[in-house]
């Protein structure tokens, strides 16, 4: 508990320092030249904006094409399973596989468990436990589904 308290205080302090720095930034900061966009590294938030669970971009295309077969879904097929793709997956699992998932686009243990149920009972070769952990068996079965969907549903 003491370590958790120390960690929370450290994070709070860092956020406070950053917020204070932003609050005191004046016109002098606005005039500071910035690096060209191509030289700026992607922010951690941008990197974490999607979760393909080990799928290649093309297998993720397949999942998105499959999801778009529903008249209720209109995803941008870009090969990145972001929040909207995961909301569509959660809806699919709820509506067709009797799951009771919160449709929030977050890939947590409940969503992984629902995906595992689908991969096991839908014939995608998942033989592991419904444990909510996206291990190698879950990832391999999801890749088989994505590859098959790519071949069947993407033009």
Residue 82 forms beta bridges with which residues? 50
Nearest to 145 by CA among 61, 24, 34: 61
> Is 89 a member of any domain?
yes
Q: Count of H helices and E strands in the chain? A: 7, 0
Query: Is residue 11 domain-shared with residue 39, that is, in the same domain?
Result: yes
Distance CA 146, CA 59 (A): 4
Nearest to 138 by CA among 155, 118, 110, 153: 118
Query: Is residue 67 domain-shared with residue 123, that is, in the same domain?
Result: yes
Distance CA 49, CA 1 (A): 31
Distances (CA, A) of 72 to 13, 117, 153: 45, 23, 16
pLDDT in tens, 5-32: 444 444 444 444 444 444 444 444 344 4
Do 93 and 104 touch, CB atoms closer than 8 A? no
Distance CA 111, CA 109 (A): 5
> Is 52 a member of any domain?
no
Q: How confident is the model at residue 148 (pLDDT cuts 50, 70, 90)?
A: very high
> Is 30 a member of any domain?
yes
Query: Is residue 10 domain-shared with residue 39, that is, in the same domain?
Result: yes
Query: Is residue 17 domain-shared with residue 61, that is, in the same domain?
Result: no
Query: Is residue 42 domain-shared with residue 72, that is, in the same domain?
Result: no
Query: Is residue 69 domain-shared with residue 97, that is, in the same domain?
Result: yes
> Is 92 a member of any domain?
yes
Query: Is residue 62 domain-shared with residue 138, that is, in the same domain?
Result: yes
**How high does pLDDT run on average in the chain?**
79
Count of domains for the chain: 2
Supply the range of the domain harboring residue 23. 2-47
| pLDDT of res. 16 | 46
pLDDT in tens, 25-76: 444 434 444 434 434 444 444 455 899 999 999 999 999 999 999 988 999 9
């Amino acid at each position: 508990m003491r370590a958790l308290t120390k960690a929370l205080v450290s994070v709070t302090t860092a956020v406070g320092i950053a917020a204070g720095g932003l609050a005191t930034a004046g016109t002098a900061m606005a005039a500071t030249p910035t690096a060209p966009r191509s030289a700026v590294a992607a922010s951690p938030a941008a990197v974490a904006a999607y979760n393909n669970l080990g799928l290649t971009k093309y297998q993720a295309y397949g999942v998105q094409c499959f999801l778009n077969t529903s008249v209720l879904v209109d995803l941008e097929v870009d090969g990145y399973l972001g929040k909207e793709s995961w909301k569509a997956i959660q809806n699919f699992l709820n509506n067709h596989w009797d799951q009771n998932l919160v449709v929030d686009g977050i890939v947590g243990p409940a969503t992984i468990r629902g995906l595992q149920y689908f991969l096991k009972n839908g014939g995608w070769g998942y033989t592991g436990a419904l444990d909510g952990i996206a291990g190698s068996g879950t990832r391999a079965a999801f890749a088989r589904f994505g590859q098959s969907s790519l071949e069947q549903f993407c033009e």
